[in-house]
Amino acid sequence: MTSNDQTLPRPQGGAVSVLRRWRWWLVLLALAASAAAIWIVSARNGDARPPGGKSAAGQPSRAFPVSAVPARTGDLPVSLTGLGSVVPTKTVTVRSRVDGQVMDVAFREGQEVQAGDLLAQIDPRPFQVQLAQAEGQLAKDQALLRNAQLDLQRYRNLIAEDSIARQQLDTQEALVRQYEAAIRVDQSQVDNARLQLTYARITAPISGRLGLRLVDPGNIVHASDANGLVVITQVHPITVVFTLPEDQLPQVLKRLRAKETLTVDAYDREQKTKLASGTLFSVDNLIDPTTGTIKLRALFENQDGMLFPNQFVNVRLQLDVRRDATLIPAAGLQRGAQGPFVYVVSADQTANMRPITIATVQGDTVAVDTGVKPGELVVVDGADKLREGAKVEQQSRDGPPQGEGERGQRRKGRP
């Protein structure tokens, strides 16, 4: 090189060392990223094995825990459900028909009474006085009538002898008729006084259950009082008024026209406890246009008193019974693009997807026409993870997998 050549500056020793260290760190980071990507891809490929099949190394895949119950043969009632309330057959507010003081209350609140039983006693003395006065007036007019009749007979004898004028006879006949009319008025007064005396003794107009007492002894009551003394509701028998959608009305009317007796069951709010069984009594003549429903009334004997007035109940109206149907739990029913299906556990402990034809669904039970035979195991829990041919391991809902044995116990004991 000539003196005219310019020399380039060289990096110092410290700078070269720093660059080399950064290069090594970059290489190590790239290698770690590549290893992580390879591990993720291999793990995904390992999990993508078809359920129940074998891995690339020929090892069997894990079995999915499921719960399965056998399909059975039985009778399934076909019913309609609705909401209703208990309505007494009769409700009467007992009121006094006369004015007076309540002397005695002869019932207990909540008591069962029969028609004609004594409930309360109004002070009868004013009505006894009125009766005595009416009977006295009646006796007085009866005496006057007898005297007038005797005079009439005498006048008739005298007129035959031409001893008196005809006008005197006619006057006496009119007086007799006047007394006869007065006696009829007096008799009505006597009957009215006796009736008022009867009303002073208040009795139950119907049989039923008494409510809370509304008037205490010693109070003055009037016939015009609005509250009354007590309310009686007839609960034997009792009715339930419930509603059904108008689309279900033709099914009900078809059976009513055929003179069929339709059974109605009443359940509690949770639809778990059956309260009573009765029969359909009547159907309303109008559909409610605002709700699109129609009211129906069912009659219950209610001898055990399980139905109480104004109680809310769930109603099931039984229309038909499917005899000897294949029944499966509704929990095992699945729905897909091709329609309803279930998973059936085969003898080799694999899940087979079966398309089914549903006859009817009632609560937690499904009646199946085709697709499942009685005795076949239908998966009711764990079906969301299954596919066709997946390996399954049956387990009870309350315990460990069935047939797990010592192998399963050892697996559970692993840390």
Tokens of 358: 């549903």
Tokens of 181: 């009319």
CATH class for domain 79-89+233-323? mainly beta
Q: pLDDT tens digit string along 216-272?
A: 999 999 999 988 999 999 999 999 999 999 999 999 999 999 998 999 999 999 888
Cα(297)–Cα(321) distance, rounded to whole angstroms? 22
Per-residue pLDDT, 15: 52
Q: Are 230 and 106 in contact (CB under 8 A)?
A: no
Give the domain ranges of the chain: 64-77+324-400, 79-89+233-323, 90-122+206-231, 124-199
Q: Would you place residue 4 in the very low, low, confident or very high pLDDT band (cuts 50, 70, 90)? A: very low
Tell me: pLDDT of 295 over 70.
yes
Q: Residue 245: in which H helix or E strand, if any?
A: strand 238-245
Q: Would you place residue 402 in the very low, low, confident or very high pLDDT band (cuts 50, 70, 90)? A: very low
- Tell which CATH classification among 3.50.50.60, 3.60.20.10, 2.40.50.100, 1.10.1040.10 matches the domain 90-122+206-231: 2.40.50.100
The CATH classification number of 64-77+324-400 equals 2.40.420.20
Tell me: pLDDT of 329 over 60.
yes
The more confidently predicted of residues 244 and 49 is 244
Mean pLDDT value across residues 85-92: 95
Tell me: pLDDT of 65 over 80.
yes
Per-residue pLDDT, 384: 83
Cα(58)–Cα(13) distance, rounded to whole angstroms? 58
Cα(180)–Cα(174) distance, rounded to whole angstroms? 10
Q: Residue 23: in which H helix or E strand, if any?
A: helix 13-47
Architecture of domain 124-199: Orthogonal Bundle (1.10)
Q: Would you place residue 35 in the very low, low, confident or very high pLDDT band (cuts 50, 70, 90)? A: confident
Which residues does residue 53 pair with via DSSP β-bridges, in sequence order?
Answer: none
Per-residue pLDDT, 61: 61
Single-letter residue type at 20: R
- The two beta strands, 263-267 and 220-221, are unpaired
Give the Å distances, CA to CA, from 178 to 142, 148, 184, 185: 11, 10, 10, 11
Give the Å distances, CA to CA, from 224 to 228, 232, 391: 9, 19, 82
Dump strand ranges (E) for 246-356.
263-267, 274-288, 293-300, 312-329, 334-336, 339-345, 351-355
Degrees (nearest 5) of the Cα angle 405, 407, 410?
110
- Could you give the 3-state DSSP secondary structure of residue 171? helix
Euclidean distance between the first and the last CA atom of the chain, given in angstroms as a whole number: 76
Tell me: pLDDT of 365 over 70.
yes
Cα–Cα nearest to 230, from 219, 250, 249, 216: 216
Burial of 379 (0-12, 13-18, 19+ CB in 10 A): buried
Cα–Cα nearest to 113, from 225, 208, 44, 187: 208
Peptide bond into 237 cis (omega under 30): yes
Cα(7)–Cα(150) distance, rounded to whole angstroms? 177
Single-letter residue type at 29: L
Mind giving me the DSSP string for 134-203?
HHHHHHHHHHHHHHHHHHHHHHHHHHHTT-S-HHHHHHHHHHHHHHHHHHHHHHHHHHHHHHHHHHTEEE
Which pTM value belongs to this model? 0.63
